[in-house]
A = this chain, B = another copy of it.
Amino acid sequence: MLRLYDMLSSGNAYKVRLLLWQLAMPFERIEMDILKGETRTAEFLAINANGRAPTVVLPGGEIFPESNAILWYFAEGTPYPPADRLGRAQVLRWMLFEQYSHEPYLAVARFWLHFPGVLNDKRRAQLPDKQKGGYAALDAMERHLAAHEFFVNRRYSLADIALYAYTHVADEDGFDLSRYPAIQAWLARVRAQPRHVPITEERSPT
């Protein structure tokens, strides 16, 4: 069976769980405790030298890190990446935006604020920069979503899964989503997709 090295509180890990639910693909879930250093043990570094979750081990033994590459792998041949070349590249464009201009701010702010003891003085001093960068990413999303129902080709795709992950919990992490009506309406459209599961879902589909 597919093995998923997971972290329930991580949006990156949630992306993978959400897609596997929507594809009805069962998986074995192994929760990693980052604060206990479980992603840095010799055993885990032998699986992923970069020491990060989510990491997937396929039934054939192939190992995959990088949440958005995992999404791409499982979604090929399904409706989640568009069938047209331009649409596929636009999905990648938004997934790259997510990893470059969105996740480094919203996910890092989440990590610092979500876990007790993680927010030291050095990080506290950097928090305003993280919030500024996070709001810039939300502003860019709001501009796009004001004119588009979903990110690409007017239908739900991997781009929506990738961007939903940290956006839908941003209010837990110090971001005020009430100023973003287009984002809020899009969050509701994503939640309304068939087989949607929340970030707290620990079970595998059967």
- Give A contacts to B, CB under 8 Å: 49-50, 62, 64-66, 68-70, 72-73, 76, 85-86, 88-90, 92-93, 95-97, 99-101, 103-104, 140, 143-144
Q: How far is the CB of A197 from chain B (nearest CB, A)?
A: 23
Question: Which residue of chain B lies nearest to A65 when distances are taken between CB atoms in the complex?
Answer: B93
Question: CA–CA, A65 to B89, complex, Å?
Answer: 10
Contacting pair A140 B69 (CB below 8 A): no
* In the complex, chain B residues whose CB is within 8 Å of the CB of A89: 64, 69-70, 72-73, 76
In the complex, besides A66-B97, A72-B92, A73-B86, 14 extra interface pairs with C-beta distance below 8 angstroms are A49-B140, A49-B144, A64-B89, A65-B93, A66-B96, A66-B100, A68-B92, A69-B90, A76-B85, A96-B99, A99-B99, A99-B100, A100-B100, A104-B104
Question: CA–CA, A64 to B88, complex, Å?
Answer: 12
